[in-house]
C-alpha cells in the first residue's frame, strides 16, 4: 500500500485537497516544494491528460516516489472546444474574462 506520494505541484492547497479526497491521514503527500531540484516539466502534450502523465512520470523518476499530476485547460463549446490545452499560451488580451464567459456561456 502506498504511504507516501508526490503531488507534482508547488501549490500546497492542492496537496491539502488531495489528502482530503483520499481520506487517509496515513498517506504522506509531498509537493515539489520539498524537492527544490525537481525539473520543470514542459507541458507540450496535445491533451491535458498527456501533460499530466508526462509530469507525473518525470517527477516519479526524479523523486523515486509514486507521483500524481494534473493539467487544466479551458474548453468552450462555442469555440469548438478551443483553446483547450493551449489556454495558458493565449495572449492576455485574448483570454476570456468573466464578462466574455457570461456573454458566450450564459453564466
Summarize pLDDT for 94-105 with one digit per residue, the tens.
655 655 555 555
Residue 79's domain comprises: 74-105
* Same domain for 57 and 14: yes
* Same domain for 90 and 47: no
pLDDT tens-digit map of 24-43: 778 888 999 999 999 999 88
Catalytic annotation, residues:
71
* Same domain for 59 and 21: yes
If one counts the domains in the chain, the total is 2
* Same domain for 47 and 23: yes
The half-sphere exposure of 40 on its side-chain side, counting CA atoms within 13 A, is 0
pLDDT at 22: 80
* Same domain for 84 and 45: no
Report the alpha-carbon distance of residue 68 to residue 2 in Å, rounded: 12
* Same domain for 9 and 60: yes
* Same domain for 11 and 39: yes
φ, ψ dihedrals at 85, nearest 5°? -65, -15
The distance in angstroms from the start CA to the end CA of the chain is 43
Report the alpha-carbon distance of residue 54 to residue 46 in Å, rounded: 11
pTM of the full predicted structure?
0.71
Amino acid at each position: 500500500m502506498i504511504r507516501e506520494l508526490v503531488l507534482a505541484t508547488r501549490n500546497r492547497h492542492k496537496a491539502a485537497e488531495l489528502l482530503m479526497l483520499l481520506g487517509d491521514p496515513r498517506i504522506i503527500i509531498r509537493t515539489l516544494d520539498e524537492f527544490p531540484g525537481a525539473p520543470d516539466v514542459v507541458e507540450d502534450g496535445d491533451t491535458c491528460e498527456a501533460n499530466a502523465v508526462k509530469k507525473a512520470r518525470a517527477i516519479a523518476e526524479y523523486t523515486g516516489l509514486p507521483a500524481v499530476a494534473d493539467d487544466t485547460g479551458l474548453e468552450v463549446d462555442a469555440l469548438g472546444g478551443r483553446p483547450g490545452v493551449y489556454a495558458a499560451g493565449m495572449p492576455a488580451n485574448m483570454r476570456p474574462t468573466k464578462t466574455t464567459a457570461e456573454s458566450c456561456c450564459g453564466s
